[in-house]
Amino acid sequence: MNDVITLLRESGAMLEGHFLLSSGRHSDRYFQCARLLQYPDRAAAALAGAVDRIKADIRAGKLAPDAVVGPAMGGIVVAYELGRQLGLPALFTERDDGGVMTLRRGFTVEPGTRILIAEDVITTGKSSKECAAVLEGLGGRIEALACVVDRRSSGADIPWPLYAAIKLEAADWDGAGCELCKQGIPVVKPGSRKQINPINL
C-alpha cells in the first residue's frame, strides 16, 4: 500500500487543496490518476497488488471474469492494464452526445459475459454503476469492481466485491456544508468533465 502512495506522489497524482468533484461534492484531496497512468511501468506496479488479490479469488473459485470494462475516461487505461495482467480483453463504455453511458466502437458483450469493471478512482461509484447498467442491459453479469484509489466516504455503497490498489481518506462535503467554502478558499474542478477555473461557490 505504501508503494502505491509513493507512486501517486512521485507522479503528481495526489493533489491537495479545494476541489469540486465530478459528483458535485467538495474535497480537500483530488486524485488525478491520469498522471500516474501515463507511465506504463507505474500503472503496472500500482495495480499489481489488486491483480494478485483478483487472481487469488479466481483460483479460489470466487470469480471468473471474461472481460474487463472501464467507463471512459478514467477507466480506459486501468481496464487495459488489468486486462493485460489478467490475460483478458479490455473494453470501455463512454458517454454519447447526450451524456448517456453506452457501449459502442464495435465492442460487444454477449449475454452471460462475466465482467470486472475497472475505474481509476471510486468516490460515489456513480460512473461504475452507470457502466454496469449498460452491461447488464446487454445481458452481462458484473462480478467485481477494481480501481487504483478507493476514496469513498461512509454511505457510498458498492454492490460488488471491490479490489482497490489503495484505500485513502479524503474530506467529502456537499457544497452547502463545505468547510473550505466557509473559509472562502477558491474551488477548482480539475477532472476531465466541464473544466472550470478557480472560483468561489
d(CA 74, CA 152): 16
CATH number at 147 reads: 3.40.50.2020
Kindly report the length of the chain. Answer: 201
DSSP-assigned beta bridge partners for residue 132: none
pTM for the model stands at 0.85
Q: 33: which residues sit within 8 A by CB, 6+ positions away?
A: 8, 13, 74, 78, 120, 121, 148, 149
H-helix or E-strand spanning residue 58: helix 40-59
pLDDT at 200 over 60: no
| Mean pLDDT of the region 52-79 | 97
Residue 192: the pLDDT is 55
Mean of pLDDT over the chain: 90
The confidence score (pLDDT) of residue 101 equals 94
**Percent of the chain having pLDDT more than 90?**
77
pLDDT > 70: percent of the chain: 93
Residues 6+ apart with CB under 8 A from 16: 28, 29, 30
Domain that holds residue 74: 2-199
Inform me whether the pLDDT recorded for 199 exceeds 50: no
What is the number of structural domains in the chain?
1
Chain centroid to CA 71: 8
Q: CA dist 38 to 7, 11, 153, 161, Å?
A: 12, 9, 27, 27
- In this predicted structure, which of 47-56, 173-182, 191-200 has the lowest mean pLDDT? 191-200
Confidence label for 23 from pLDDT (cuts 50, 70 and 90)? confident
Beta-carbon-side half-sphere exposure of residue 185 (alpha carbons within 13 Å): 15
